[in-house]
Chains A and B, each alone.
Chain A
Amino acid sequence: QVQLVQSGAEVREPGSSVKVSCKASGGTFISSAFIWVRQAPGQGLQWMGRIVPLLNVLNYAQKFQDRVTFTADKGTSTTYMELSRLTSDDTAVYYCARRTGYKIDYWGQGTLVTVSS
C-alpha cells in the first residue's frame, strides 16, 4: 500500500521560505510522478506543479514558477517543495500526491503552512 507522509505544520514570517517534505513508501518512487497542490482556508484545490524523479522532470504552475522549487531524494524516497518570498496569501494546506497515468491516486495528509508576523 502506497503511503505519502508529509512533514508537520510550519509557521513562517512574511518574506521567508518554507520547505515541506513528502516521504513515499510502498510504491515505486523512482518511476512515479508527484504533484503538489495547495488549498487556502475555505478555498478549492490549486495545482502548483509536478516532479518526476526518474526523468528529473520539473513543471511549475505559472503562478508559482518564480518562487517554488521541487526536489527529490531518491535514496529516501522523499520529495520536497520549497516556497520562497512568503506572504499571508500563502497560508494554506499543502498536499503532495502521486500521479499514475491520468489518476491522482494517493495523497499525503497535508501540511499547514501559516504565514504571519
Chain B
Amino acid sequence: DIQMTQSPSSLSASVGDRVTITCQASQDISNYVNWFQQKPGRAPKLLIYDASTLETGVPSRFSGSGYGTDFTFTISSLQAEDIGTYYCQSYDNVAVIFGPGTRVETK
C-alpha cells in the first residue's frame, strides 16, 4: 500500500513569507499528486493537480513541483487568508490516499 507523509505537521509564518510543505510517497507515483487547502468547517479545495498544474481560479502564489516520490508545495508570499490545513493526495490503484496534513498559521 502507498503511504503519503507530509512535513512539517504544522507551521507558523508571517504574512509575506515563503512557505514550503513537502510530501513523500512510499513508492513511485509519477506526477499523480494533488494539493488541497481546507479551512475550518469547509470542504477541501483543489489548488494543484498533476503535481504542478494550478487549478483554474487559484492564485499564482500557490505552486507545486516534484515527481516520483518527493513533492513540494509552495506559497510564495503567505497571505492572511491562506491559513488552514493543506493536504497532499495521490492514488493507490483505485484508492485515494491523503497525506496527514500540514496546519498553516500566521504569526
Q: Which residues of A contact B (CB under 8 A)?
A: 35, 37, 44-47, 50, 59, 61, 95, 97, 99, 102-105, 107-110
Contact = CB atoms under 8 A, between A and B. Distances in A.
B100 interface: yes
B43 A108 contact: yes
A24 to B, nearest CB: 14
Q: Is chain A's interface secondary structure helix, strand, loop, or mixed overall?
A: strand
A102 B91 contact: yes
Given A44-B87, A44-B101, A45-B87, A104 B43 contact: no
Q: Which interface class (under 10, 10 to 19, 20 to 34, 35 or more) fits B?
A: 20 to 34
B34 A102 contact: yes
Given A95-B43, A102-B50, A46 B34 contact: no
B34 A45 contact: no
A47 B46 contact: no
Given A44-B101, A45-B87, A102-B34, A107 B44 contact: yes
Interface of B: 32, 34, 36, 38, 42-46, 49-50, 55, 87, 89, 91, 94-101
Q: Is chain B's interface secondary structure helix, strand, loop, or mixed overall?
A: strand
B72 to A, nearest CB: 18
B96 A104 contact: yes
Contacts of A45: 38, 44, 87, 89, 98, 101
B32 A44 contact: no
A107 B43 contact: yes
A91 to B, nearest CB: 16
Contacts of B46: 103-105
